[in-house]
Amino acid sequence: MGKMDGKVALITGGASGLGAEDARVLAREGAQVVITDVQDELGAQVAAEIPGCLYLHHDVRDEARWTEVVVATLDRFGRIDTLVNNAGMVRFGTIEDLSYEDFRFQTDVMLGGTFLGCRVAIPHMSRDGCGSIVNMASVAALKGISTIPAYTAAKAGIIAMTRSIAVHCREQAYRIRVNAIAPGGIVTPMTAQALAELPQDAAGLDQINAHGMGQPSDVAKMVLYLACDDGRHITGTCITIDNGETMA
């Protein structure tokens, strides 16, 4: 018996990096998986690797599309047990040179997208009596990094909002657990692009160099733990996976 047998997982940002690995790991443990992204070609490739996987084009800033994605998931699989709000991106710039447009874009994708995902999915998860939501934060939310103020703000907001949503679910007697994960440096396409754009003496790179980069599977295994019954007594928390990066 797989740990996710009989469960259905919806994962945003599933075309590459952490989201794609989350999908593979949950599927190997028996989950029926829906992945969404705006990278359609990559998303279709990942879905083709996973038996029964459904790929949907999805801009997580679009409230109406969120409803369509949830309805499509229910139409295909009949339920949603796990929601992984993973979609994210980064644009660099300090508080003095980052445009407000870029600030809004990043916060709309990550913080806004997570809000919409939880708001649309929770009524359907509560109907079935239980569920697990995993929101992807970052160690950037736990320390100051001057070159990514919008990214850090969005990820910090995700951590705080995760706690608030967990309390709401408890108050409503929903058996829905809501947690966040804060990865450090992980080998993903987004991280590779970020490292290529930054000068070698950029703030924050010293920590990555000192502590090394993790693999997507390091995070996906924690997503599995929180999604399955192993994590049944965990809600309202943020779990850091950073090889001690935030200890410095």
Distance CA 181, CA 135 (A): 6
Write down the pLDDT at residue 175: 95
Q: What is the pLDDT of residues 198-207, one digit of tens each?
A: 555 555 555 5
Q: How far is CA 51 from CA 1, 47, 133, 158, 219, in A?
A: 17, 8, 23, 31, 22
SS3 86: coil
Of 194, 175, 172, 73, nearest to 133 by C-alpha is 175
Instruction: Compute the 3-state secondary structure of the chain and give helix, strand, coil in percent, each to the nearest 5.
Output: 50, 15, 35
Domains of the chain: 8-240 (3.40.50.720)
SS3 179: strand
Catalytic residue among 55, 100, 151, 225: 151
**HSE on the CB side for 32, CA within 13 Å?**
14
**HSE on the CB side for 197, CA within 13 Å?**
12
Write down the pLDDT at residue 122: 97
Write down the pLDDT at residue 245: 83
Q: Is 151 a catalytic residue?
A: yes
CB atoms within 10 A of CB 41: 8
Residue 22 backbone phi and psi in degrees, to 5: -55, -45
Q: What is the pLDDT of residues 34-84, one digit of tens each?
A: 999 999 999 999 999 999 999 999 999 999 999 999 999 999 999 999 999
Distance CA 230, CA 4 (A): 10
Tokens of 30: 């028996």
Q: In the beta sheet, which residues pair with residue 12? A: 36
10-residue block means of pLDDT along the chain (248 residues)?
A: 94 97 98 98 98 98 98 97 96 95 98 98 86 96 92 98 98 96 83 60 54 85 97 97 84
Tokens of 120: 């649309």
CB atoms within 10 A of CB 101: 9
Q: Is pTM, for the whole model, over 0.75?
A: yes
The distance in angstroms from the start CA to the end CA of the chain is 41
